[in-house]
Amino acid sequence: MIEHYLREYEVAAADGGATAPGWFRSLQADAIELFRASGFPGPKDEEWRFTPIAPLVRATFRPAGSATPVGLTDLEPFLFGRLDWPRLVLVDGRFSPELSQLPSIAGLAIANLASVVKSGDGDLASDLAEASGRTVTPFASLNAALGMDGTVLRLASDSVMEEPVHLVHVTTPGSDGTVTHPRLLVVIGERARAQVIESYVGLGSEGCYWTNVVCDVRLSRGAWVEHTRIQRESESAYHTGVTEIRQEADSHYRSFSFAIGGAIARHDLRSRLGGSGAEALLYGLYFGRGDQLVDNHTTIFHDQPDCRSWEVYKGILTDRAHGVFNGKIIVQPIAQKTDAKQTNRALLLSDTAKIDTKPQLEIFADDVKCTHGATVGNLDPLARFYLTSRGIPDRVAGELLTYAFAAEVLNEISAEPVRTVLDRLIHGRLASDRLEAHDAR
Amino acid sequence: MTESVESLVNRDYKWGFVTDIEADQIPAGLDEDVVRLISAKKGEPPFLLEWRLKAYRGWLKMTEPHWANIKYSPIDYQGMVYYAAPRTKAPLGSLDDVDPKIRETYDKLGIPLTEQKILSGVAVDAVFDSVSVGTTYRRQLGEMGIIFCSFSEAVREYPDLIQRYLGSVVPASDNFFAALNSAVFSDGSFVYVPKGVRCPMDLSTYFRINAQNTGQFERTLIVADEGSYVSYLEGCTAPKRDENQLHAAVVELVAMAGATIKYSTVQNWYAGDEDGKGGIYNFVTKRGKCAGAGAKISWTQVETGSAITWKYPSVILQGDNSIGEFYSVAVTNACQQADTGTKMIHIGRNTKSTVVSKGISAGRGQNSYRGQVKVMPRADGARNYTQCDSMLIGNRCGAHTFPYIDVQNRTAAVEHEASTSKIGEDQIFYLKQRGLNTENAISMIVNGFCKEVFRELPMEFAVEAQKLLGISLEGSVG
């Protein structure tokens, strides 16, 4: 149904076209042309072969209307108990000044995209233009064409942020049938250090809405970033996201991608190691139950010599959930001394859950060390037997082992409050899965 | 070192001679009449002609696949000759009746066609441009009830078996190249091992493409009945020619309950020169079906030749407790490109598969492993272990892996490991320090790297494979 979105674009262009500056409108016009040409991806596209997105493509989502009022109390459960952390909140795709807390921190400039577009930030035009040229999926084009708001975060060279910045995206109950296209741009200066938490939250448990995000992260020479992405949409919602990371020399980027929500949730993470000595650590943990489809695509481009990448993704699938993982490592001819390691593991806990995994190495340089490993299976029967022999009930033993499987990645989150909350969330999830299984019996 | 590298890279293709014998050819091009003509020339029964025509009509509707990680100039399907047979076609009573020129060719290749010269226990069905010229050891095998003959002979003598099993593993509509083969296949080998019989020797076929502009479309069908065992060897060599020649073979294996088929290939077709001119386009469909419980199919391949290799020997693990194996060494040097791997389809319970793939890239070679491990919902207790290692020699080559893992059963355990690394400089240094020259050092390291696969080959083949590997890689280090 691409016509629907082409019409949406026409309407939006006629409506808001007057207020947006020319350069922004021309970016949108370019993006909609890209989308018009590509359409939605189908099963014939290699990148979408295992990801049946027909329900999402068939539906026609309208732009989110005026937001249902949301108070801080509604938001509190999702703030890791740290209301003091700087945060920028988008409610149904629109900036909420009331819920946001943007203290002035030396070197940090953070604002919502719409206001930056209006006020005219010198570099924004070129930054966004460059980014939209690199966007890869039709969903990213659609985001660039229809996106209205988002976050622009810049951290000046040599600045160090002590606390993480939390970028919260909330969808309110009653947002059925609407779509938001948040656009994030994070630019970290030379030798600066930042922690960014990106949250997607559905306040209604049943809402069938769509979040379509594009996030760009740039690390200048020697920058250090820890980026945690937490996707907790409603389990009837759709979530599509593209994260593009570009790293200069000697920068360090560490990502943790957590996905538990969404009827269809797809995240494309693309990391480009564009300067020697750059390092990317990518961790991922995803859960699927019911009929959820959870898809993680990662691509690491080793464009320069002496870079290192390390990737661990784990998934836990039960009921009829369907997991998809695709991890690409591309080593260019000049990227000698590349050290890349990728691991992905999936646990299938039910007879009807399934996983399609495709680790992929494309290597054009010879002096490299690249490995990948993939495993799919159930819990280790020996470990389970050991626990039951110690008097632990089998169900609890299963839960413990599943938790241990997840905890290995979870422990990589360095922000302690986040780790604690997710830890509790996982325990709750495992317990509820167990109770459901028990009820079914 | 560079000097020796160049001399070795420029080493002539040892088997690049053309045998000048009159060939019975039909004009170039392909249409229904050509399919009918091939069928008529071979005196085939109506069912086979029908099957060919159906395949041909299906092929017309298909398009050449381009998903593989290979680049090549377009293939002119109408510019090819689809049938070429040596003209001297008197009935062959004994090996002495074989055309001396053909015999000479085989002698140059070192194929021991004469029984006295045959490596002990190897029966050879030599395929020379599509028509089988001589089969050895047939009588002895015949006494045990084992059928080992050319495909066209099997069509005449055992039409029931052919009708029953032809296309049962690789249907005519399977893919573009299999459909083409089904329409125009010229000859090949047929093996049937009856119930409970253990074939006492390794069966062997040498393929050789000789006439210019002829595609080779051979077809091999091996049926191992319940509880039987057979080991089959396949070796290939083609003369040096400038134009690319297409080779689109189909191999079908059927293993009944408790049967084992071991299929080993050493492929050494002309790879083209160092600029990528000429060479064989090898588009092959190989698939085995473990039809009954406890069946086992094992593929071992050493791919050192061909300009393009597109080949995925697969196993359908249908019977419970059946086993599939794939051991592969693929070498790409100069401008060679290989996109090869396997598919293991787990359907039955407690099915097991092992995949060991060793890719070696040198020069400007591009080597891809493409594999799929699929565990169907009913395949309780399925196990797979996959290991694919790539070695890079020089900085202009590439190694790629595209493993697809689809699991739909929670009791399955699937493991995949892959690594890519450079040939160890410290290892080369160590061996040189012990008095080996660089070429021998590399050969030794590479042979060690491939040991797990060579171990699976029958001894004579393993020796040949090691030599071939040495020849195709020598001088590739910069």
Count CB atoms within 10 A of the CB of residue A180: 28
Count CB atoms within 10 A of the CB of residue A157: 14
User: Least CB-CB distance to B400: which of A348, A363, A378?
Assistant: A363
Strand partners, A266: A240, A295
Quote the minimal CA–CA distance from A246 to chain B in Å: 23
**Hey, is A52 helix, strand or coil?**
coil
Examine residue A295 and state whether it is found in any structural domain, yes or no.
no
Query: What whole-number distance in Å separates Cα of residue B29 and Cα of residue B10?
Result: 35
Quote the minimal CA–CA distance from A178 to chain B in Å: 33
pLDDT value of residue B96: 55
Query: What whole-number distance in Å separates Cα of residue B459 and Cα of residue B471?
Result: 19
* A210 vs B69, residue with greater confidence: A210
> Percent of chain B scored above 70 by pLDDT?
78
Q: What is the ipTM of this complex?
A: 0.76
* Max mean pLDDT range (A244-253, A368-377, B150-159, B271-280): A244-253
Examine residue A221 and state whether it is found in any structural domain, yes or no.
yes
Examine residue B343 and state whether it is found in any structural domain, yes or no.
no
Examine residue A307 and state whether it is found in any structural domain, yes or no.
no
Please give the residue of chain B at the shortest CA–CA distance from A368. Answer: B421
Examine residue B306 and state whether it is found in any structural domain, yes or no.
yes
Q: Which of A363, A369, A401 to mutate to test the interface with B (most CBs of B within 10 A)?
A: A363
Could you tell me if B370 and B339 are in contact, meaning their C-beta atoms sit under 8 angstroms apart?
yes
pLDDT, one tens digit per residue, over B347-383 is 999 999 999 999 999 888 899 999 999 999 999 999 9
Mark yes or no for CB contact B416/A375 under 8 Å.
yes
Task: Dig out the tokens for B75 from the structure.
Answer: 């293939």
What residue has token string 């890239």? B361
First-residue to last-residue Cα distance in chain A? 42
Domain boundary, last residue among A273, A299, A334? A273
Under the banding of pLDDT at 50, 70 and 90, the label for residue B133 is very low
**Hey, is A80 helix, strand or coil?**
coil
pLDDT value of residue B384: 94
Domain of residue A439 covers 379-441
pLDDT value of residue B200: 87
User: Least CB-CB distance to A366: which of B392, B404, B416?
Assistant: B392
First-residue to last-residue Cα distance in chain B? 8
Give the residues of chain A that fall short of pLDDT 70: 16-18, 66-67, 121, 132-135, 434-441
Query: What whole-number distance in Å separates Cα of residue B197 and Cα of residue B200?
Result: 9
Domain count, chain A: 2
Examine residue A319 and state whether it is found in any structural domain, yes or no.
no
The kind and range of the H/E element at B473 are helix B459-473
Q: Does A365 touch chain B (CB under 8 A)?
A: yes
Quote the minimal CA–CA distance from B381 to chain A in Å: 10
- Report how far apart, in Å, the C-alpha atoms of A261 and of each of A200, A204, A238, A402, B178 are: 9, 12, 9, 18, 44
Query: What whole-number distance in Å separates Cα of residue A207 and Cα of residue B85?
Result: 71
Under the banding of pLDDT at 50, 70 and 90, the label for residue B122 is very low
The kind and range of the H/E element at B413 are strand B413-422
Under the banding of pLDDT at 50, 70 and 90, the label for residue B104 is low
Domain count, chain B: 1
State the Cα angle at B129 between B123 and B130, rounded to 5°.
75
pLDDT value of residue A355: 93
What residue has token string 């794939």? B326
Query: What whole-number distance in Å separates Cα of residue A110 and Cα of residue A99?
Result: 15
Query: What whole-number distance in Å separates Cα of residue B209 and Cα of residue B217?
Result: 10
Task: Dig out the tokens for B265 from the structure.
Answer: 């290939």
pLDDT value of residue B289: 96
Under the banding of pLDDT at 50, 70 and 90, the label for residue B98 is low
Mark yes or no for CB contact B403/A374 under 8 Å.
yes
Could you tell me if A237 and A207 are in contact, meaning their C-beta atoms sit under 8 angstroms apart?
yes
Which of 304-333 (A) contact B at CB < 8 A? Answer: 333
Q: For residue B390, which residues of chain A lie inside 8 Å, CB to CB?
A: 361, 363
Examine residue A369 and state whether it is found in any structural domain, yes or no.
no
Q: Which of B372, B388, B420 to mutate to test the interface with A (most CBs of A within 10 A)?
A: B420
Q: Does A346 touch chain B (CB under 8 A)?
A: yes
Under the banding of pLDDT at 50, 70 and 90, the label for residue B117 is very low
Examine residue B430 and state whether it is found in any structural domain, yes or no.
no
Under the banding of pLDDT at 50, 70 and 90, the label for residue B444 is confident
- Based on the fold, state whether residues A37 and A177 are members of the same structural domain: yes
Query: What whole-number distance in Å separates Cα of residue A347 and Cα of residue A402?
Result: 8
Mark yes or no for CB contact A373/B415 under 8 Å.
yes
Please give the residue of chain A at the shortest CA–CA distance from B68. Answer: A46
Query: What whole-number distance in Å separates Cα of residue B193 and Cα of residue B230?
Result: 7
* A217 vs B246, residue with greater confidence: A217
pLDDT value of residue A228: 96
Residue B214 has pLDDT above 60, yes or no: no
- Please choose, from the candidates A290, A352, A286, the residue with its C-alpha nearest in 3D space to the C-alpha of residue A324: A286
Residue B24 has pLDDT above 70, yes or no: no
pLDDT value of residue B86: 54
Could you tell me if A269 and A297 are in contact, meaning their C-beta atoms sit under 8 angstroms apart?
yes
Please give the residue of chain A at the shortest CA–CA distance from B415. Answer: A375
Least confident window among A114-128, B380-394, B400-414: A114-128
Domain of residue B116 covers 2-311
Instruction: Name the percent of chain B in helix, strand, coil, to the closest 5.
Output: 25, 35, 40
pLDDT value of residue B118: 36
pLDDT value of residue B119: 34
Examine residue B358 and state whether it is found in any structural domain, yes or no.
no
Mark yes or no for CB contact B414/A377 under 8 Å.
yes
Quote the minimal CA–CA distance from B377 to chain A in Å: 7
Average pLDDT for chain B: 81
Quote the minimal CA–CA distance from A47 to chain B in Å: 12
Please give the residue of chain A at the shortest CA–CA distance from B382. Answer: A377
Examine residue B282 and state whether it is found in any structural domain, yes or no.
yes
Q: For residue A375, which residues of chain B lie inside 8 Å, CB to CB?
A: 413-416
Examine residue A334 and state whether it is found in any structural domain, yes or no.
no
Taking the mean position of all CA atoms in its chain, how far away is CA B186? Answer: 16
Q: Does A359 touch chain B (CB under 8 A)?
A: yes
- Please choose, from the candidates A155, A120, A160, the residue with its C-alpha nearest in 3D space to the C-alpha of residue A23: A120
Mean pLDDT of B404-422: 89
Domain boundary, last residue among A252, A273, A294? A273
Query: What whole-number distance in Å separates Cα of residue B237 and Cα of residue B265?
Result: 12
Query: What whole-number distance in Å separates Cα of residue B7 and Cα of residue A434?
Result: 69
Domain boundary, last residue among A255, A273, A291? A273
Examine residue B267 and state whether it is found in any structural domain, yes or no.
yes
pLDDT value of residue B91: 42
Mark yes or no for CB contact A377/B413 under 8 Å.
yes
Contacts 24+ apart (CB under 8 A), B87-92: B87/B21, B87/B22, B87/B23, B87/B24, B88/B21, B88/B22, B89/B24, B89/B131, B92/B133, B92/B134
Q: Which of B405, B425, B477 to mutate to test the interface with A (most CBs of A within 10 A)?
A: B405
Could you tell me if B439 and B4 are in contact, meaning their C-beta atoms sit under 8 angstroms apart?
yes
Antiparallel, parallel or unpaired: β B23-25 and B84-86:
antiparallel
Antiparallel, parallel or unpaired: β A193-202 and B245-247:
unpaired
